[in-house]
Amino acid sequence: MKKILLTAAVTSAMLLPTFATADLSATAGIVSDYTFNGVSQTDNGPALQLGLDYGTDDFYVGAWATNVDFGGDTVAELDVYLGKYFQLSQAASVDTGISYYTYHGEDSSAEGNYAEAYGKFGLASEFGHTELNLWYAWDYAGAGNGHAVTMLAHSYDVAEGHTLRISVDQSMYMDSDVKGWGGDSSYTHYRLGYETSVEGFDLSLAVEDTSLEDDNSADLRFVAGVSHTYEF
């Protein structure tokens, strides 16, 4: 199982002063397949996804929801997240925060809930935008195991409004004895995506694959998506 989330430890009183100048937005979208680190979360089927974000230039909080299909009665994922953005220089930036993933559909679905901390380091140049992104979960999928994802990505505008993004990431259990993917404790995910906007709609098309073998939920695939963001 599993995308981004938030802890109840942050009180509304702490958030109110920051939100005084905040912006609110909502996003609705459809994807041909909801993949997480290259693995389908919808049994290779489509997903309807909804998001709500509230924040300032350097602080944000939000929620994100999607349908899922893991072969049982779990039918939905709802994530919440809290983060802070730091512009270190004209070129360098850091985005850090914590996410909390929750699953719904049957009583046992909640057993897979877990939190994850992340740090995303960006560097802009005339050649595009390079990222080094890190995620760490200390109770991955509610199973008590440490799990990390490291990603190296680069985005480049091939023309105004047309962006290519290539990324390579590795998912790994901290304990190599944990075999979470068909006998493997880690695997690599490759992705090449294209993004553009038409009449206010964000469009994406990507080809991705993983090093996992004999897994039709993680093999070579094309994923298309369309979404629209509403500003309030």
**pLDDT tens digits for range 51-88:** 999 999 899 999 999 999 999 999 999 999 999 999 99
**Quick count: other Cβ atoms within 10 Å of Cβ 47?**
21
Tokens matching residue 123: 């560097």
Q: How large a percentage of the chain has pLDDT more than 70?
A: 91
Q: What would the pLDDT profile of 173-200 be if each residue is shown by its tens digit?
A: 998 888 777 778 999 999 999 999 999 9
User: What letter would DSSP give residue 74?
Assistant: -
* Whole-angstrom distance, CA of residue 174 vs CA of residue 138: 9
* The model's pTM: 0.88
185: helix, coil or strand? coil
Rounded distance between C-alpha atoms, residue 12 and residue 23, angstroms: 16
Neighbours of 89 (CB within 10 A): 8
Tell me what the mean pLDDT of segment 213-232 comes to: 95
pLDDT at position 183, please?
Answer: 77
What are residue 129's DSSP bridge partners?
124, 155
* Position 202 pLDDT exceeds 90: yes
Taking the C-alpha atoms of residue 203 and residue 226, their distance in angstroms, rounded to an integer, is: 5
The mean pLDDT of 148-158, rounded to a whole number, is: 98
Residues 62, 68, 70, 75, Cα dihedral to 10° = 100
Q: What pLDDT is stored for residue 5 in this prediction?
A: 32
